[in-house]
Structure 1
Amino acid sequence: NTLDFDILEIQTYTRVNKDRTNADWEEISVEEMHKLDDASMLLNENFQIKQEYEVEIFTKEDDNVFKNLHAAIGANATKCKIYLSIKAGSEIVAHPNFEEDFLRYINKSKIRAGILVNIFDEMVKDVVSKISALAKVGGNIKYDKNQTILIADAYEPTATINDDFIVHYDKKSPASNGDKVDYAKRGFIHSVLEGDIVMEYIKPKKGKPGRNCRGEFLEPAEPEIKNIPDFNVDNTIEVIDNKDSILYRARVSGYIAQEAKVYQIKTDMDVGEISFKTTGSVFTGLDSDVAISVKENDSLKDAIGTGMEVEVSEIDIKGNVGPNAKVHAKRATVEGQTHRDSQMIADDLTINIHKGVAVGDNIKINRLEGGTVDGKKVEISQAVGGNIRAKEVEIGLCGSHVKVTASRLIEIQKLQGSENVFTIDPLVQKDKKDGLSENKHEIEQLRISVDEIKKEVDKYKKLVKDNSASFNEVKQRLLHYKKNGIKMPASFVTKYKQFNKIQEHLENIMQEYNVKNDKLLLLATKTVSFQDNIVDARIINRDRWVGHNELIFKLVDPPVQLVYKPKEGSHDKIFAIVETEDGVFEIQAVHK
């Protein structure tokens, strides 16, 4: 720590040491140093290079011009990139011969670190020159934060690639950040879509050699080969063999199945049950074309176990759906019954006995026992309690305590119970309700805007009318001046331009008024269309009326609810909302 040194001489030696014969070293003169820029020579494993330095060692001087420069040599892992790292708080003071001294400082730092000098460091001259210029301008340079400067750059080797086998279809990922592993979602079935990369074999590839800033040749390691595929695939999986890898791509959608050492993609699967103990939850996606048949049909057991979640393209459930189970598919059938805490979602949904929640487009239920149904077209053979919401609802045998809300049709074949509520609501579907709400909000905003523009239009119309006479007079005078080659007065030209701008603005705001007014009329018509839908809606009871039942029709504009209670024993079958001659809406029995 108390010693320093000066570089008196640098000697560079090279040799090509074929077959490790210990060939003689040859000195390279300064004039020949440019020959070392030859990549083919430097990347020859038999080529060797070394340097020897003649130095003068002495005790450090207190007045060293770089005493406040706190810097160190750093390198990347291969030592192919060398950096001068200057610490925050360092200071460099300008002085005569700064560039020579700073270059010597860098070279001495490199020698201490065992880095070759004047090789791979073409950028150092520019680095020294820039720092020197900055120091001379301000007299000194103070470093408020750490700074890293590249001072040597050799030949970085290309890393060797070991072979690898990647299973893309297994999308599950380990729990991280302390998250608990959900064993119910352990991935019993792995689904793929047509065109997906199912698996991938990364071929081994030896890297390219390099040489670092110490002159050391960097030989790439031999690749490790541990994952060569030892299986086959059938015609459902395409094999793409290219330069760097072998890709296995799905020709069809489905799930991955392995029999012996053959991978294939299947679409149909039979399982005894879906439960925590057997399969766990099943997720293949709605577009996977996977169809599952769940065979468990024991009335005392659940085919879909407690808390299980299933998402497939199609599913046939022979037995029951347990509590807190969720099934989502394009098509689903349940031959048993659904628990009151279960949820079934499917475009086409068929259920034998339903007690839970069912959501879909076309829903058919044999017996509804207090469950909830939300669809577009709903057909129920027998309803004993429950809540139904849809566009059209047909019930074969209707018991008691059934609530039905539809936008277009409610039809009962046989009525045996009472305390039922049948409601026609054009906004029963969420998108319709949201649409009306957005429509009303837009109408309100447009009305405010149209009123404001109307006031501005009236204001500018009056302004144009009041100033038309003076404008025409100014216009005639300007034409006279122009015709006779007389210079036009600036005040006349200004007035003419101002009036033109007023007219242009009036035309623009009138155009905006007309566009917004037309849109307002269109939105008002759209609101009326919601109301028109209720006029065509019907509540039909093909049987006679028994007990206490209510018919409700909900108007949109104004938002009024009309209630009608058919008399017990009445044979009136079809009910609609009718506008009387006085413009009042009533619920009446109609013929069709």
Structure 2
Amino acid sequence: MGLFGSSKEESTISKKIRPTVIRTENVAKELVELATKNNINTSSLDFTILEVQTYKRTCKAEQAKEEVEWEEIYKDEIYKLDDVTSILNPEFQIKQVYEIEIFSKDSDNDMFRDFHAAVGANATKCKVFLSIKEGSKVNSSPEFEEDFLNYINKSKVRAGILINIFDEMLDEVVSKISALAKVDESLNYEKNENILISEAYEPMQTIDDDLILHFEHKKEAGENDRVDHSSRGFIKSVLKDDILIEYIKAKKGKAGRNCRGEFMEPREPEITQEPTFTVDETIKMVDKPDNIQYIAKENGYISLDGTVYTIKSEMDVESIDFKTTGSITSGLDSDVTLSVKENDAQKDAIGNGMSVEVSEIDINGNVGPNAKVHARRATVQGQTHGSSEIRADDLTINVHKGLAIGDKIKITRLEHGTAIGKEIEVEQAMGGDIRAKDIKIGLCTSHVEATASRLIEISKLQGSENIFTIDPLLQKEKRSGLNENQVEISELQISIRDITKEVDKYKKLIKDNTVAYNDVKKKLIHYKKNGIKMPAAFINKYKQFQKMQEHLESIKEEKNVKDSKLSLLSTQTATFQDNILDARIINRDRWVGHNELVFKLVDPPIELRFNPLEGSDSEVFALVENSDGQYEIRAIIE
């Protein structure tokens, strides 16, 4: 059965047909029908274009197509068709009739048998390309240019693409490729290549109207970003000049005609999204030819009151939690002021895990566990949970147990929380960690760690086991600055040491060779004076000595520059040290219990510790330098 099947396949492939001449508008259809009739593969057929006839007619809508005669356009008049007025006339029609001779393909004598290319087009068939596959090759011949043009035209006709129309670039394409083939005697394509061979009139797509609510668009979570499921978009924050809403006006597209000669009429646009809302004076409307833009005139959040969009800056909410509002993020620069009304001591005004970011916020009640609040100004009239975090430039908290970060912080009662800022005032400190430039504590009980870079002042002390520290490098930028300073100083010291060695080396070389140099110099002057040719060896020695002198001056100058820079950096390091000498720890009350004062030196990096005597009245402590040049913590007069 297998042998019989193979024999039948071979006979099908090898079967020849008699050359057949056909007139047709559809070459591909004729090839398929002839192949089917003779029980052979279409790929085994080839054809020659004997004649091309181009016809046109203008058929008005009220006329029956069969009543309108086709008018032939002769080859030398085809260029007249390339006229937008007629080509884009929907009543205009064009077609081609081809007289071809079909015959069995002779692969052995086919010069393009190893040239693998196909005619392809974009979706509208308005641009047609010759796609040549990687590895294609063809040898040159005396009539290569004509053969190659025929090859392309046959491919176009087979694909239903008109020839001699919309293909003004084809002659140049064929000419360039033929020139390459003649120079190299063959063509070899090492990669795929697409060449434009026809271009008609691309239609412009119809645009339906659309309404885009830009203010509702959120940043898409990236591949590595975590999706915040707590965010409800409760507040749609906006900034001045933001485009809030955009109405895209409907627009009918423009007609086109493709490389098959088909007219492409655009559809009528659909209008379904026309605005049914209005805006107030906080939003401006800009009417443009293609769209209408609604633009914010101020910062805040957008609100729809009935059918009117407006921008507001203040909002009252009962509470912020996962079920109702979700997290609220309007941005620090949004000018949104949020007031959270919940003040029940048994409930959280800011719920578990919620995040809030607004310009200003007033919280009447408590901030729950794992909650985060970020604002320019914030007040918390209740208490903060130990795992909460509040950040604000200007921050006021009643009872604080969590983390507070800001510039200016006021806390009524600190209960083992952490406060980090520039200026911090605490009325009652009942354990906790305070870090700032200046710290003022009204009543200090026990287990408080206060670290400042300039001042710690206590009005009343009622406890012990407190640690008060002065650290001039408390702020990260200062610590980073000192580290960079010290690294640069170390590098300069090494560089100066190496340059000093080189300076000493060249000074010795010049000193040891000065006598010989002067002797050579005298001889060269004598030779020049008497017109005697100067020996090359003398000239080279003279130039070498001069280069040594020039190099010495150069490295001496480099050493001076680096010495000056080292001096400046050393002064800067000393400035860090000077800061600690101006710092003070002040206790306006008597010292009770065990408390420790710590001053951290910069250079050398050591800590000095001191325990004030219980019951002593010493108020102001500072770091001073004694007669032996050593530093010590000492009570001073304010």
Q: TM class, shorter-chain normalised? A: over 0.9
Select which of 31, 36, 39 maps to 2:81.
36
Structure 2 residues without counterparts, runs of 5 or longer: 1-41
Query: Which residue in the other structure is 1:55 paired with?
Result: 100
Q: CA deviation at 1:93?
A: 2.5
Query: Which residue in the other structure is 2:23 paired with?
Result: none
Query: Which residue in the other structure is 1:363 paired with?
Result: 409
Q: CA deviation at 1:288?
A: 0.9
Q: Deviations over 1:14-43 (max 9, x none)?
A: 233344535432222221122223233322
Query: Which residue in the other structure is 1:574 paired with?
Result: 620
Q: CA deviation at 1:510?
A: 2.3
Distance 1:122 1:197 in 2: 45
Distance 2:415 2:533 in 1: 96
Q: CA deviation at 1:174?
A: 5.5
Query: Which residue in the other structure is 1:198 paired with?
Result: 244
Query: Which residue in the other structure is 2:234 paired with?
Result: 188
What SS does the aligned partner of 2:216 have? coil
Distance 2:247 2:529 in 1: 88
Q: Deviations over 1:270-295 (max 9, x none)?
A: 11001111111111111111110100
Q: Deviations over 1:522-556 (max 9, x none)?
A: 11111111111111111111111111111111111
Distance 2:546 2:212 in 1: 73
Select which of 241, 258, 261 maps to 1:215.
261
Select which of 560, 569, 583 maps to 2:606.
560
1:344 aligns with 2:386: no
Distance 1:522 1:425 in 2: 23
CA-based RMSD of the aligned residues comes to 2.1
Query: Which residue in the other structure is 1:411 paired with?
Result: 457
What SS does the aligned partner of 1:292 have? strand
Q: CA deviation at 1:428?
A: 1.3
Query: Which residue in the other structure is 1:75 paired with?
Result: 121
Q: Deviations over 1:94-150 (max 9, x none)?
A: 233222112111111111111000111122223323333333444433434332222
Query: Which residue in the other structure is 2:309 paired with?
Result: 263
Select which of 222, 228, 250 maps to 2:274.
228
Which range is displaced more, 579-588 or 244-253?
A: 244-253
Query: Which residue in the other structure is 1:24 paired with?
Result: 69
Query: Which residue in the other structure is 1:152 paired with?
Result: 198
Query: Which residue in the other structure is 2:587 paired with?
Result: 541
Change (3 A) 1:76 1:485: farther
Distance 2:384 2:51 in 1: 92
Q: Deviations over 1:499-536 (max 9, x none)?
A: 44333333332222222211111111111111111111
Q: CA deviation at 1:452?
A: 1.5
1:12 aligns with 2:54: yes
Aligned 8 A contact 1:538 1:575 in 2 = yes
Distance 1:72 1:192 in 2: 54
Q: Deviations over 1:377-408 (max 9, x none)?
A: 11000010101111111110111111111111
Query: Which residue in the other structure is 1:383 paired with?
Result: 429
Aligned 8 A contact 1:190 1:284 in 2 = yes
Identity of aligned residues (%): 64
Which range is displaced more, 51-60 or 362-371?
A: 51-60
What SS does the aligned partner of 1:507 have? helix
Change (3 A) 1:168 1:477: farther
Select which of 65, 71, 75 maps to 2:111.
65
Matching of residues 80-479 of structure 1 within 5 Å: 80-173=126-219, 181-472=227-518, 474=520
Select which of 481, 497, 511 maps to 2:557.
511
The TM-score normalised by the length of structure 2 is 0.88
Distance 2:245 2:493 in 1: 60
Change (3 A) 1:328 1:137: same
Q: CA deviation at 1:186?
A: 2.1
Q: CA deviation at 1:566?
A: 1.1
Distance 1:332 1:281 in 2: 16
Q: Which amino acid aligns with 1:240?
A: V
Distance 1:75 1:170 in 2: 40
What SS does the aligned partner of 2:394 have? strand
Change (3 A) 1:288 1:475: farther
Change (3 A) 1:226 1:516: farther
Q: CA deviation at 1:69?
A: 2.3
What SS does the aligned partner of 1:546 have? coil
What SS does the aligned partner of 1:512 have? helix
What SS does the aligned partner of 2:574 have? helix
Q: CA deviation at 1:84?
A: 1.6
Distance 1:176 1:407 in 2: 41
Distance 1:520 1:326 in 2: 46
Q: CA deviation at 1:444?
A: 0.6
Distance 1:590 1:404 in 2: 20
Q: CA deviation at 1:177?
A: 6.0
Change (3 A) 1:212 1:503: farther
Which range is displaced more, 239-248 or 574-583?
A: 239-248
Q: CA deviation at 1:243?
A: 2.0
Distance 1:144 1:241 in 2: 54
Aligned 8 A contact 1:172 1:186 in 2 = no
Query: Which residue in the other structure is 1:588 paired with?
Result: 634
| Number of residues of Structure 1 aligned to a counterpart in Structure 2 | 592
What SS does the aligned partner of 1:239 have? strand
Q: Which amino acid aligns with 1:383?
A: A
Distance 1:229 1:314 in 2: 33
Q: Which amino acid aligns with 1:15?
A: R
Which range is displaced more, 316-325 or 540-549?
A: 540-549
Q: CA deviation at 1:474?
A: 4.9
Q: CA deviation at 1:165?
A: 1.9
Structure 1 residues without counterparts, runs of 5 or longer: none
Distance 2:420 2:540 in 1: 69
Q: CA deviation at 1:487?
A: 5.8
Q: CA deviation at 1:495?
A: 4.0
Q: Which amino acid aligns with 2:168?
A: E
Which range is displaced more, 473-482 or 326-335?
A: 473-482
Q: CA deviation at 1:68?
A: 2.3
Distance 1:179 1:424 in 2: 41
Q: CA deviation at 1:82?
A: 0.7
Q: Which amino acid aligns with 2:45?
A: L
Distance 2:200 2:538 in 1: 78
Q: CA deviation at 1:478?
A: 5.3
Distance 1:497 1:157 in 2: 79
Aligned 8 A contact 1:389 1:405 in 2 = yes
The TM-score normalised by the length of structure 1 is 0.95
Q: Which amino acid aligns with 1:238?
A: K
Distance 2:519 2:271 in 1: 97
Change (3 A) 1:504 1:547: same
Which range is displaced more, 334-343 or 460-469?
A: 460-469
Change (3 A) 1:470 1:205: farther
Which range is displaced more, 299-308 or 252-261?
A: 252-261
What SS does the aligned partner of 2:253 have? coil
What SS does the aligned partner of 1:200 have? strand
Change (3 A) 1:125 1:494: farther
